[in-house]
Amino acid sequence: MTLKAVRVLGEAEVVAIPKSKEESYSIALSIVKGAVDLSKKETLELMFPMTKDKEVLRKAREEAAAAICERLKGGKDVACITLGDPMFYSTFSYLIPLLRARVPGIEIEIVPGISSVMASAAMTVTPLTEADERLAVIPATYEQEKLRDILREFDTVVLMKVNRVFDKVLGLLEELGLKEKAVFIERCGGENQRVVRDLDSLKGEKLDYLSMVIVKRGNLEQ
């Protein structure tokens, strides 16, 4: 967490905690609790199901926005926590237009965070870009042919959400001769973080949702 994030959370009267129904606890909340005393604050859980059903997601986001706006209209400041950065693959970004529609003139301040991409690059000592190199950050669930093209085109590729399609990604990296140029990172910065360079050792394993693969055509730090 940044110092500004700690300060903002310390000043807010309500801390909103996005989590999925599948989660028994919020990872983001466990991090915040290590830096901010929440005992005298209202904590507001916002439930976001892990689904691609657009109607289910729409309803969940509307309910979350309504809960936040209820506190705002009551004169309270609300700080919404999230893993990584709020503007990078974050649940919070979907709430912005809903909040603005419900409370015209609402003041929304974004506190930049440390994205998993930057944290993983630091953890593995992997420069993402140098000189005129090009970087692509995409979900690993991208269409196979498009993913193949991107891996061929860009100097560095960060594959997010790799857990469910890892074996397919591994086969593609092997086909393109990039397997030895890749590194797997899981739960970066957490107690159970893991860095694996022997990608073959992960084949068939049930991987954590918070995992990614960085592929860099240059040499990775050994």
Distance, CA of 100 to CA of 106 (rounded, Å): 6
24 pLDDT band, cuts 50/70/90, is low
Average the pLDDT over 130-142 and give the result.
94
Residue 219, pLDDT score: 55
Q: Could you report the per-residue pLDDT of 39-69, keeping only the tens digit for each?
A: 999 999 999 988 889 999 999 999 999 999 9
Q: What pLDDT is stored for residue 23 in this prediction?
A: 65
Give me 121's structure tokens: 């690059």
Locate all alpha helices (DSSP H) within the chain, ordered by sequence.
Answer: 3-11, 27-33, 54-73, 96-102, 116-123, 144-153, 166-175
Specify the pLDDT at position 50.
Answer: 86
Parallel, antiparallel or unpaired: strands 182-186 and 211-216: antiparallel
Name the more confident of 21 and 215.
215
Confidence of residue 22 (pLDDT cuts 50, 70, 90): low
